[in-house]
Structure 1
Amino acid sequence: MRLNVAATPASASTLATNKVLRNTYMLLSLTLLFSAFTAGLAMMLNMPPLGMIVTMVGYFGLLFATTKFSNSALGLVFIFALTGFMGLTLGPIINMYLSAFSNGHELVMTALGGTGVIFIALSGYALTTRKDFSFLGGFLMVGILVAFLAGIGAMIFSIPAMSLAVSGMFILLMSGMILYQTSEIIHGGETNYILATISLYVSIYNLFLSLLQLLGVFGGDD
């Protein structure tokens, strides 16, 4: 005699959540590897910085395309295009630190290690405790907008103190984004693994750059 056991709504929801989580971390790993490859390529070719306008147009254009096609196979194409492009922007920045500081390699590796530790710790905390961090959403959006505009102002008007403050803000905001996005996946608020991957990738990218800038100021040897 065969028994047919129908899946309960709760178990079906758990399976769906686990699938989104698994796909997100799989895609995130692949995009980080691809981004590292393009960054290494840019370093090897000694590419010059792309400039603020090209970087902004490329980033927001590819971000829009990735979001628009996030429910189709084209979304995968655009997310790799986006993360590959961001890797190209990262290569010249790393080269600058390697040439500007005698301990440049140490600074880059420390920033990379710090980024990894923060991401693993915060993701692990959100996954283990399963706390709902959705309340952070509005605060993070406003904070990121303010920090972004302040960063552009610091760049245009060459205000080093403001740049440092923005870097500190971004470290806190990106840490909050990691908690928020992981929580959204766990509690079913985010069901699209492409969009979840974008959010986590951008958080990791900005976290690394912010840590690198602070380390360069406070720990760099000219």
Structure 2
Amino acid sequence: MSYDQFQMQPPSPQGMGTLLTPFVRETYRLFLFGMLGMSGLGVLSYNLLPHSPLFAIIGGIFSLIMWIAVCFGWRKPTRVVLPLFTLATGIMMGWLGHQYGHVFLPGTLLTLGAFTGLTLYAHTTRKDFSYLIGFLWTSFWILLVGIILNIFLHIPLLSLGIAALGAIVMGVWVLFDTSRLLRDNGQTMTPGEAATELLLDIVGLFRWILRLLDQFR
């Protein structure tokens, strides 16, 4: 997921030949390591955050800066960006564990199920989902306006709608980015960059699902 990259590369004949190319395998290997790193750091930050308000503030600012930088295009060098992003997201996971503790487990299961299902669909069909970019771009601005309005209005129905749309948008990002990495096959992206895109997608999906479930408590 990157809001500065709205052009799908043309299909690569080399990339369409096989499903699990070395590029795809390396991408998912890095993705798995990133997920494990975030989980471990999340457990650590969950246990440290309650005992150190200063750490929570510093960690929150660091996480926010990293997320803004990565969402808007910081991908290189991946050997620096990916570990820093993993660290920042791990810190954020500890905060989410406290904020949404009552829905954290079901949110995790729903996220893993949705991400796996969408990924398998993109892999088995090999469809080109580049046509969804218009929906993603429009939805970004709708979400941004909705979030700003809800800061002042505090309308429960609006909060529910924002959370639902956010979850849908992130699901679409999973399809878009998975299709993109399959068709690109290393022509314009490195495995580290592709793994970062997928990590952005699953963590973003997780956050919106947590917000959606929280509306029903």
TM-score (norm 1): 0.77
- Closer/same/farther in 2, CA of residues 25 and 12 from structure 1, 3 Å limit: closer
Shift of 1:180: 0.8
Q: More deviation in 78-87 or 146-155?
A: 146-155
Specify the alignment match of 1:147 in structure 2.
Answer: 143
For structure 2, the 5+ residue unaligned runs are 1-11
Q: Aligned letter for 1:195?
A: E
Specify the alignment match of 2:68 in structure 1.
Answer: 60
Say if 2:45 is the partner of 1:37.
Answer: no
Specify the alignment match of 1:28 in structure 2.
Answer: 31
- Closer/same/farther in 2, CA of residues 215 and 27 from structure 1, 3 Å limit: same
- Closer/same/farther in 2, CA of residues 62 and 174 from structure 1, 3 Å limit: closer
Q: Quick one: percent identity of the two aligned structures?
A: 25
The 3-state SS of whatever aligns with 1:179 is helix
Does the 8 Å contact 1:75/1:194 carry over to 2? yes
Specify the alignment match of 2:3 in structure 1.
Answer: none
Q: Aligned letter for 1:91?
A: G
Shift of 1:181: 0.9
**Greater share of residues in helix:** 1
Q: CA RMSD in A?
A: 2.8
TM-score (norm 2): 0.78
> In the aligned structure 1, how far is the partner of 2:186 from the partner of 2:151?
34
Q: Aligned letter for 1:77?
A: V
Q: More deviation in 76-85 or 137-146?
A: 137-146
The 3-state SS of whatever aligns with 1:45 is helix
Specify the alignment match of 1:178 in structure 2.
Answer: 174
Query: CA offsets per residue over residues 188-212 of structure 1, 9 Å max, x none?
Result: 2764222222221111112111111
Shift of 1:166: 1.5
> In the aligned structure 2, how far is the partner of 1:158 from the partner of 1:50?
24
Query: CA offsets per residue over residues 82-126 of structure 1, 9 Å max, x none?
Result: 12202212211211333xxxxx2xx21111111111111111011
- Closer/same/farther in 2, CA of residues 207 and 64 from structure 1, 3 Å limit: closer
For structure 1, the 5+ residue unaligned runs are 1-8, 99-103
Structure number with higher relative contact order (C-alpha < 8 Å, ≥ 6 residues apart) = 2
Q: Paired residue for 2:129, among 129, 133, 144?
A: 133
Specify the alignment match of 2:82 in structure 1.
Answer: 79
> In the aligned structure 2, how far is the partner of 1:198 from the partner of 1:124?
19
Specify the alignment match of 1:215 in structure 2.
Answer: 213
Residue correspondences, number = 199
Does the 8 Å contact 1:24/1:196 carry over to 2? yes
- Closer/same/farther in 2, CA of residues 177 and 186 from structure 1, 3 Å limit: same
> In the aligned structure 1, how far is the partner of 2:73 from the partner of 2:169?
24
Specify the alignment match of 1:101 in structure 2.
Answer: none
> In the aligned structure 1, how far is the partner of 2:145 from the partner of 2:172?
19
Does the 8 Å contact 1:63/1:82 carry over to 2? no
Specify the alignment match of 1:111 in structure 2.
Answer: 107
